[in-house]
Structure 1
Amino acid sequence: MIPAEYAAAAEEAAALAGAETRPLFRSALLVEAKGDASPVTEADRAAERALRGFLGTRFPDHGILGEEYGAERPDAEWLWVLDPIDGTRAFLTGRPIWGTLIGLMHRGEPVLGLIDQPVLGERWLGVKGQGTRFNGQPIRTRSCNRLAEAELACTAPEMFPEADRPGFEALRAGARRISWGGDCYLYGLLSLGLLDVVAEATLKPWDWAALVPVVEGAGGSMTGWNGEALRMGCDGRVLALGDPALLDEAKASLAGGGPRPQ
């Protein structure tokens, strides 16, 4: 059982991060390039500092891993995993489909996740064994057990390395249609029953740790492309399904592009 104070703390932390990001949205920001070519703003850094300061004070024995400032006590039993602005390109171009991600892992397993969109006032909170709530109300994914009927979504085609593109294209060809753009917001929409499949690659732990409890708590599944559990050290390929009955067909499609080079 996840202590109730952990979920409450995640919500308090999200409010603090929102106070940093919301005033800067659609404003003139100084942007610098990072090694992975994603834009970083002062909003990113200020929000992560707020998250780290709050969670570090509230839970001094817990670890923290964040996109902007790295890891503190990464081997702790409880590890907070933070992405202050997931979808910085959307943030910088004025599209409100970015979000703050706050995840909590227990001994390496994602057990609590929060997606917060402070501009729209939308928040998803998933806790293992307790379901997922959207703005305080329980939500469920929808039934869809055939890929041909599924709404597929992905942030951008360029996120796939050359070796992964054939598998993704096979999945795309089998789906009803695809929507592009969204980052973490896609997983929130899937949890609301508006999408059926999200398949992506090259994700880091701060990109997926908060999403797993949200998707699973709403009745979906979130795994690697081979159906494996997402844990630290995974290859960054993720497959989120609103209906877990799609897993075998989705896996077969992703494998249809041929084996991935080791």
Structure 2
Amino acid sequence: MRITESDLTLAAALADAAGAAIRPYWRTEQGLEMKGDASPVTLADRAAEAAMRALIERTFPDDAIIGEEYGVREGTSGRAWVLDPIDGTRAFISGRPIFGTLIALVVEGWPMLGVLDQPIIGERWVGTTGKPTLFNGKPASTRRCADLGEALLATTSPALFTDDQLHAFEHLDAKVRSTVLGGDCYNYGCVASGWLDVVVEAELKLHDFAALVPIVEGAGGRMCDWAGDPLTADSIGEVVAAGDPARIEEILEALACRGGH
């Protein structure tokens, strides 16, 4: 299966609808609640996902929907729209515009279309398998990194790693020039546009990473798990994004140094 113009048109409409639902809640009353896993959710999260789901159900009723807030609607087409209405809710509730809406089209388990939309500052990355990634309609490109020691590394929070994963991350952290914390999905857009070199995270769910794979790879980078395998619907959530694919082996070698090894 290939991505069609109709798919791209819907993806853009989904991002527009989510943004329209989110903006009225920006830096105002958000109805904050804590979910069972201790992660935050707001009225904006729910309104944005509901708006996107309604559009998908109307446009492609045979497609599955996998959303962070409202779960799974089964489909019969082999295609699934994977939605994270606000990736980076903690940034959203603290008034920091480094969250994003993530929209992916996953075909037979493989992420093939991804949108990362930042609705407050008006930035949008669109990636499609086999095509160049676009940032606000213009081609985006990762940057080369000839030496891992010159790399700028990012992760959302070391607190999200298990002890073994943290040990591995610290081993990588010692090899790079500098590390920035926070950013959630926005970091991957920064990799695609050549402002960051590496993102490493763990414990992610499909809705956290599916949209980001075609975005980073369409800009010239590479995404994989910590073992170097491609990211699919079956991946366990250990994620690496590298702007320069030539640095992947060094990154994976560092991450192989888990606690006790």
* TM bracket, shorter-chain basis: over 0.9
AA partner of residue 53 (structure 2): R
Q: Residues 104-148 of structure 1, C-alpha deviation per residue, up to 9 Å, x if partnerless?
A: 011110000000001101000000111100000001100013211
Q: What displacement does 1:32 show?
A: 1.0
AA partner of residue 217 (structure 2): E
| 1:61 to 2:67 alignment | no
1:11 corresponds to which residue?
A: 12
What is the alpha-carbon distance in structure 1 between the residues aligned to residue 146 and residue 244 of structure 2? 6
Q: Normalised by the size of structure 2, how large is the TM-score?
A: 0.97
Q: Residues 204-242 of structure 1, C-alpha deviation per residue, up to 9 Å, x if partnerless?
A: 000000000100000000110111111123221100000
1:141 corresponds to which residue?
A: 142
1:142-161 equivalences under 5 Å are 142-161=143-162
1:72 corresponds to which residue?
A: 73
1:113-192 equivalences under 5 Å are 113-192=114-193
AA partner of residue 213 (structure 1): P
Q: Residues 137-189 of structure 1, C-alpha deviation per residue, up to 9 Å, x if partnerless?
A: 00110001321110000111111011211101001111111011100100000
C-alpha change, 1:67 and 1:193, in structure 2 (3 Å) is same
C-alpha change, 1:75 and 1:184, in structure 2 (3 Å) is farther
What is the alpha-carbon distance in structure 1 between the residues aligned to residue 260 and residue 188 of structure 2? 27
1:65–1:74: 8 Å Cα contact kept in structure 2? no
AA partner of residue 22 (structure 2): T
What is the alpha-carbon distance in structure 2 between the residues aligned to residue 57 and residue 101 of structure 1? 20
What is the alpha-carbon distance in structure 2 between the residues aligned to residue 242 and residue 191 of structure 1? 7
Secondary structure of 2:174's counterpart equals helix
Q: Residues 3-51 of structure 1, C-alpha deviation per residue, up to 9 Å, x if partnerless?
A: 1110111001110111110110100222111122111001111100000
Which consecutive aligned stretches of 4+ in structure 1 deviate over 3 angstroms post-superposition? none
1:223–1:230: 8 Å Cα contact kept in structure 2? yes
2:239 corresponds to which residue?
A: 238
AA partner of residue 219 (structure 1): G
What is the alpha-carbon distance in structure 2 between the residues aligned to residue 131 and residue 174 of structure 1? 30
State percent identity of aligned pairs: 51
1:91 corresponds to which residue?
A: 92
What is the alpha-carbon distance in structure 2 between the residues aligned to residue 94 and residue 81 of structure 1? 25
What is the alpha-carbon distance in structure 1 between the residues aligned to residue 44 and residue 140 of structure 2? 30
What is the alpha-carbon distance in structure 2 between the residues aligned to residue 175 and residue 74 of structure 1? 44
Gaps of 5+ in 1: none
Q: Normalised by the size of structure 1, how large is the TM-score?
A: 0.97
AA partner of residue 157 (structure 1): P
AA partner of residue 111 (structure 1): M
2:160–2:203: 8 Å Cα contact kept in structure 1? yes
What is the alpha-carbon distance in structure 1 between the residues aligned to residue 260 and residue 10 of structure 2? 43
